[in-house]
Structure 1
Amino acid sequence: MFFSKSIPLFFLLFCLLHHAALSASPLVHFCFSKENYTANSPYGANLIQLFNLLYTKVPPTGFGLGSTGEGQNQANGLALCRGDVSSQDCKTCVVEASKKLGERCPSRKGAIIWYDNCLFKYSNVNFAGKIDNNNRFYMWNVQEVDDPTPFNEKVKELLSGLSTKASSNPKFYATGELELSSSETLYGLTQCTRDLSSSDCKKCLDDAISELPNCCDAKQGGRVVGGSCNFRYELYPIVDP
């Protein structure tokens, strides 16, 4: 496993070795705020209220955005579940994500965590409606394809189409597939957080897709995952039917 961080973008580069294991564990987390709070402070109290709000707000639709408190003590957050995840699994993921952030980023005023099933983010800065360009990571399948150039072109073709499809879908979510041969199919997924506009969703996804040469050249599967959007492709189905 190898990782690196650069300013202003945070990139984590590592291999996808065991998909089943990752699905039950956090993929990545960033404690991105340099500011701290104490548990009995007004911000700490507002953060607890925010978590409780998101536990209720997110599962029915798969997305929730909220703020609690005012001024410098205001806590802002969002949670997003993958578009095919059930309400119960969504709630389970959101609750676990907030708990895990409390363990891994104690007293930090801003943090974000990703699972296969959900994303959870909070901050003392109101980020609603803005593309998050600061929190991003890559994942890829360690196996490579035999003929990279046409494969890479097909990956971009599929994901670019899904970028357009997701940005015009009310849930900002799209999946699709592309037949590569009689025995091989490429599967893809794109998704944005629903606080963005349709145009910003597409911009976020297109920018992420432009990272393909950096993250996933010739790889049989890969992801670029950020605080506002993500994509994934594989040579096997990646969502529940």
Structure 2
Amino acid sequence: MDSLSSNVVDHHGFYQTIVGTKSNRVYGTILCRGDISAKNCSLCALNSTRVASNDCPKSRDVIIWFRWCFLRYSNDSFFGEMQETTVATANYTDIEDDPSLVLQGIPFMSGVASAASVNSFMFHTEVLNINQSEKRYGMAQCTRDISRKDCIRCLDGQLDLSRNVNENKKRWETYGYNCFMWYNDYQFYFHNGSTLLLSGEFFEFWLFINYNCLSYQFEIH
């Protein structure tokens, strides 16, 4: 899986590859968050492959979520197939005090999702201006092997989950196999564009979110 981390920057933050033959064939994908620098993308990708090698050395289906990148590999082909698995994170003590803000959050993120699905890199950031002193920030992204229709379907599924468990939160994030959403009361992303930054500041920070190691079968090199 070394080729994932070594090629992801040259492919604008998203890369897929197939290695091996027959029963030992492995399908791999890596996605970097669209707002980070190329340096941070490369290092996050490298770190995720190290976690996979160290913690899941013989697993045949591995999913690694970092805040800045996402790694998956499997001996079953999953390219182009949208899957609705989602991990939701939030600070459950960080509640919106104003009910009117609760009513604005999910519709705002629905617009962010719609914009991400039609952008060429399937990535979008946006600001909700509530008043002169208060804002909310949203970001959404899909893996670029799925269709635009599946991208919005994936993000809508995450919105449904957030509507049930995160609607009254100031800050929440959702991580899936094919799509991701972030909502916050401060600007957590690095720029307002829609492509991977090829330059920019280097931050030695890639918060680990979660991982799955499934069905032990082969060893990754």
The bucket for the TM-score relative to the shorter chain is 0.7 to 0.9
Instruction: Summarize the alignment of residues 189-208 of structure 1 with structure 2, pairs less than 5 Å apart.
Output: 189-208=139-158
Measured in 1, the distance between the counterparts of 2:103 and 2:140 equals 17
Shift in Å at residue 71 of structure 1?
Answer: 2.2
Counterpart Cα distance in 2 of 1:160 and 1:214: 14
SS in 1 for 2:59: coil
| Matching residue of 2:136 | 186
Residue 215 of structure 1 contacts residue 222 of structure 1 at CA under 8 Å; is this kept in 2?
no
For residue 70 of structure 1, what is the aligned residue in structure 2? Answer: 21
Unaligned runs of 5+ in 1: 1-50
Deviations 1:144-170 (A, max 9, x none): 11123x223211121111111111111
Shift of 1:112: 0.7
> 1: CA distance between counterparts of 2:18 and 2:105?
38
TM-score normalised by length of structure 2 = 0.82
RMSD: 1.2
Deviations 1:180-202 (A, max 9, x none): 12211010000000111111111
Q: Does the residue aligned with 2:73 lie in a helix, a strand or coil?
A: strand
Contact conserved, 2:142 with 2:180, CA < 8 A, in 1?
A: yes
Mapping of residues 1-241 of structure 1, within 5 Å: 51-60=1-10, 61-134=12-85, 136-141=86-91, 142-148=93-99, 150-241=100-191
Structure 2 CA distance for aligned equivalents of residues 67 and 210 of structure 1: 33
d(CA) in 1 for partners of 2:170, 2:73: 33
Contact 2:2 2:49 in 1 (8 A): no
Q: Would you say the 8 A contact 1:215–1:224 is kept in 2?
A: no
* Mapped contact 1:139–1:215 kept (Cα < 8 A): no
Paired AA for residue 117 in structure 2:
S
Aligned 8 A contact 1:62 1:90 in 2: yes
Shift of 1:133: 2.3
Q: How many Å apart are 1:59 and its aligned residue? A: 1.3
| Amino acid in the other structure paired with 2:40 | D
| Cα displacement (A) at 1:224 | 1.4
Which residue identity is paired with 2:118? S
How many positions carry a matched residue from both structures?
189
Q: Identify the structure with bigger relative contact order (alpha carbons < 8 Å, sequence gap 6+).
A: 2
Unaligned runs of at least 5 residues, structure 2: 192-221
Identity %: 31
Could you state the TM-score of these two structures normalised by the residue count of structure 1?
Answer: 0.75
Q: 1:124 Cα deviation (Å)?
A: 0.6
Asked if the contact 2:96/2:102 (under 8 Å) is kept, the reply is no
Letter of the 1:237 partner, please give it: Q
The CA distance in 2 between the partners of 1:190 and 1:88, in whole Å, is 21
Partner letter of residue 183 of structure 1? S
Deviating more after overlay: 165-174 vs 64-73: 64-73
Query: Secondary structure in 1 aligned to 2:78?
Result: coil
3-state SS, counterpart of residue 203 of structure 1: helix
